[in-house]
Structure 1
Amino acid sequence: MLWIPIDRSLDISLIRQVYHQIRERILNGELQSGERLPSTRELSSELSVSRNVILEAYDQLFSEGFLVARQGAGTFIAEGTYLEQRKKSTLIDSLSWCEEISKDSNIINFRSGIPALDLFPRKGWAKLSHTIWNETPPSTFGYDIPEGRPELRKVLSRYLLKTRGVFCHPEQLIITSGATQALTLVSKLLLSTGDEVLIEDPITNDIQTIFKNSGASLYPIPVDDNGMDTSLLPANKKPKFIFTTPSHQFPLGGALPIQRRVQLINYSRKANCYLIEDDYDSEFRYEGSPVSSLQGLDPERVIYIGSFSKILSPALRMGYLVLPSHLIEKCRRVKWFSDLHTPSLNQLVLAKFIAENYLERHIMKMKKIYKTRRDFLIQQLKLAFSNKINIFGYSTGLHLIVEFNQVQFTKELLEEIQQLGVKVYPVEEHAIKKGKHHNRIIMGYGHLTTEEIKEGVSRLQRAIPCIYSC
């Protein structure tokens, strides 16, 4: 007799429970081709369920080809239904993943690049969303143009000129699903297997991966306190482009001075290559105004990338590319093949959000909050470790760098630190040429309260006892 456990407490119908269990046993070979199943009357009696439950479960299995009926003989497992089992993501896997996240909720995570999600301007965004959803014409709910809504590109071009010194017409903007997609589009647009890219070192692993996946080889240019060291640009290279984060280098935090910017542009002109400017985190500059863009110095040479993930929320998946005019049409095609277009309704809400000054007010508010959190983190680090550390890279953005005089952040030490309930990130992880940054960690603070920062530094202090005995 075929035994199928039935759980009436589950939020799954009895029909689906019977269907799924028979289906799984057929696929994994427990029930083999040609094997006879009990009649609907027999199985309903055995499981103490209505005969209709078994009838509907069998009907579904018949319709999918798992079962065949033989006149006067009964119901049998069809041929060709066994599938060799491979490891796959299951409900149990998913629950385990959720459990891990739940466990991690007790960890104070100094991850970089996360804004204060609890301070997202919900009321303003909801008000504008309500207006858009109620007033926008039906055509907006259809497919849209790949480069993005003209309303957003128009207001964004003005905003970028005003705040970042970016010179562009609305037609030069491509709206993307975040900066990651923008970088991916650039790679598809410009790179072929074997091409070379000059790139800052260290730089986030994600960016390295995007370029490598396009077949490029990376030539690292070391970074110091002032960003990419342009004196080390190679004389004999013909790169496809140079990648830089000139207004706020990730992870070390430096800003490229004008002398180096001029050197970089002159080098790119001589090498006849593009400059890719990732304007990472630059809006949150705490001393003075944000540094003007590199793009403003040579709009036809520089491809400019920006995002709203740090300013507002990564959940919006909203970014943009500013392209030299001769690349626009080709990029439109690449974007279309990538995902057709970025969601139109969010674009329209964002356009209003910028036009009606919600964005600038939000940035001003958050700069004060982030500066308070940054200053408090610096204070707590100095109280905990005094002259045993050097703190730098904190003038802009949502993270800083802590350099320990006599500590090497090995994999084992990082695991010990996490076991004590705090997570920090090694700079060395982002290095292309390894070995220079073992004593440096990245500490993000944008999403943490002062209470969490204080407790996190306290846990870090307990995790590195040798700091006092070294």
Structure 2
Amino acid sequence: MLWISLDRTLNTPLKRQVYEQIRKLILQGELKAGKRLPATRQLASQLGVSRNVIIEAYDQLFAEGFLDGQQGSGTFVAQGAFLAHSVKEENQLLFDLQKEEEEEKDVIDFRSGIPALDLFPRKDWGRLTKAVCMEAPTSVFGYDHPEGRFELRQVLAGYLRRTRGVVFHPNQLVITSGATQALSLIAQLLLSPQDEVIIEDPITHEIQTIFTSTGAVLHPIPVDEQGLRTELIPPNKKPSFVFVTPSHQFPLGSILPIQRRIQLIQFARAANCYIVEDDYDSEFRYDGEPIRSLQGLDPDKVIYIGTFSKILSPALRLGYVILPSSLTEKCKHVKWFHDLHTPSLNQMVLGRFIETGSLEHHINKMRKVYKKRRQLLRNCLMNEFGQWVKITGDSTGLHLIAEFANVEFTPRLIEQINQHKVKVYPVELHTIEKKKHLNKIILGYGNLKEDEIIEGIYRLQCALKGCAINVKIQR
């Protein structure tokens, strides 16, 4: 007898339940090769279902090679269908996922770069999505141009000129699937093995990986409270490009002043190289207007990268890169090889979202929300740690830096902090030259509610208080 149980309360069709259970029994080896299966009428009667349910389940198993046999001679388990370890791995994966979900419950995560996901403008975005689907030309549903929809590129050109001081023609803009893809395109365009990149230190570890994956060599330049220390760039260097985050250095948060911007451009001109400007979250500045772009000072030398992951949502996978005219066609070609094009419907919706003023309305709204969360985080840090913490890099963006006296955020200490169900991120993870920022952590606050910020810093205090470190906690 074949032991199969059916659950009629599930949405899964009965034929699918029969198919999946027999398939699993064969893969596990419980139904061995050559084993004869019950006739369709017999199994249908046993399970109390229509014979067609069993016929269709058997037909699928025949089609996939699990069963063998001819009409009138019976149905048998086919040779070579036993693969027990695959089921074991599948069960282990499910167990691991379940365990991970349980561990993540009630964890307060100060990860940087994530906006307030619960405040995504669903209503406006949904309304525009419906309108685009109903009104868009048929071409939107086919393969599109690798550089992106002209409607979006044109609207973005006007918006970026007005808000960021970026100077370009819409044909110089390529829509990407987020900033990560933009960085990958630049790496493929400009880097070969042993090419050199002058880069800020510290800088996002993922960006380091993208550039070094081409075989390029990183030449780190330290960052201080005014950003990249341009005076330390060796004048004889001939890099492929200089990578900077001038409007809000990641992770330290400094802003590159005009004097260093000019020095950087003068270096790029003399070395005949490009500058890559990553403008990842400068829309959210809390002390004055957003800082103007470096690109606007010399559009022929600066490649400008932007993203909507920090403004709206990482799930949209929408970013862009603005290139000098000499690189545009090459970039389109590389983009085509990456993924043909970024999804057209999302591009059309974003274009409408900007055109109607909804984007600027959302940014203004979120600037107030983030400013409040930033101030609360500052207050909590000062209340819990007092003179033992120094706060920097918080004038812009969605994170700040907390620098602790007499603390080294080693992997062991971070693990002890994690045990208090709070996650913080050492600056040291993003350094190239190590052991210069051991006492600093990155605290993102964009996606944390006020009560989570308060509780998270309290848990951090408890974690540090319970560790063997020389810190006097203020209580």
Per the TM superposition, whether the score is higher than 0.5 is: yes
Offset, 1:88: 8.3
Question: What is the distance in 2 between the residues matched to 1:468 and 1:198?
Answer: 40
**Equivalent residue runs for 1:188-337 within 5 Å:** 188-337=188-337
Assess, with a 3 A threshold, how the Cα gap between structure 1 residues 360 and 85 changes in structure 2: closer, same or farther: same
Amino acid across the alignment from 2:152: L
Offset, 1:446: 1.6
Where does residue 90 of structure 1 map in the other structure?
90
Contact 1:249 1:280 in 2 (8 A): no
Question: What is the distance in 1 between the residues matched to 2:130 and 2:58?
Answer: 47
SS at match of 1:90: helix
RMSD of aligned Cα (Å): 2.5
Amino acid across the alignment from 1:411: P
Amino acid across the alignment from 2:378: I
Where does residue 404 of structure 1 map in the other structure?
404
Assess, with a 3 A threshold, how the Cα gap between structure 1 residues 409 and 32 changes in structure 2: closer, same or farther: same
Q: Does 1:439 align with 2:439?
A: yes
SS at match of 1:333: helix
Where does residue 123 of structure 2 map in the other structure?
123
Assess, with a 3 A threshold, how the Cα gap between structure 1 residues 273 and 66 changes in structure 2: closer, same or farther: same
Unaligned runs of 5+ in 2: none
Q: Does 1:12 align with 2:16?
A: no
Where does residue 384 of structure 2 map in the other structure?
384
Where does residue 148 of structure 1 map in the other structure?
148
Amino acid across the alignment from 1:187: A
Offset, 1:441: 0.6
Question: What is the distance in 1 between the residues matched to 2:28 and 2:101?
Answer: 31
Q: Does 1:170 align with 2:170?
A: yes
Contact 2:201 2:222 in 1 (8 A): yes
Amino acid across the alignment from 1:282: S
Q: Deviations over 1:186-216 (max 9, x none)?
A: 1122222332222211111211222222232
Question: What is the distance in 1 between the residues matched to 2:15 and 2:134?
Answer: 41
Where does residue 375 of structure 2 map in the other structure?
375
Amino acid across the alignment from 1:434: K
Aligned length: 470
**Equivalent residue runs for 1:452-463 within 5 Å:** 452-463=452-463
Where does residue 468 of structure 1 map in the other structure?
472
Q: Deviations over 1:220-255 (max 9, x none)?
A: 222111111122223443322221111111100011
Assess, with a 3 A threshold, how the Cα gap between structure 1 residues 8 and 350 changes in structure 2: closer, same or farther: closer
Amino acid across the alignment from 2:414: L
Where does residue 56 of structure 1 map in the other structure?
56
Amino acid across the alignment from 1:412: R
Question: What is the distance in 1 between the residues matched to 2:107 and 2:80?
Answer: 49
Offset, 1:31: 3.8
Where does residue 448 of structure 1 map in the other structure?
448
Assess, with a 3 A threshold, how the Cα gap between structure 1 residues 88 and 141 changes in structure 2: closer, same or farther: farther
Contact 1:250 1:280 in 2 (8 A): no
**Identity within the alignment, %:** 61
TM-score after normalising by structure 2: 0.91
SS at match of 1:468: coil
SS at match of 2:248: coil
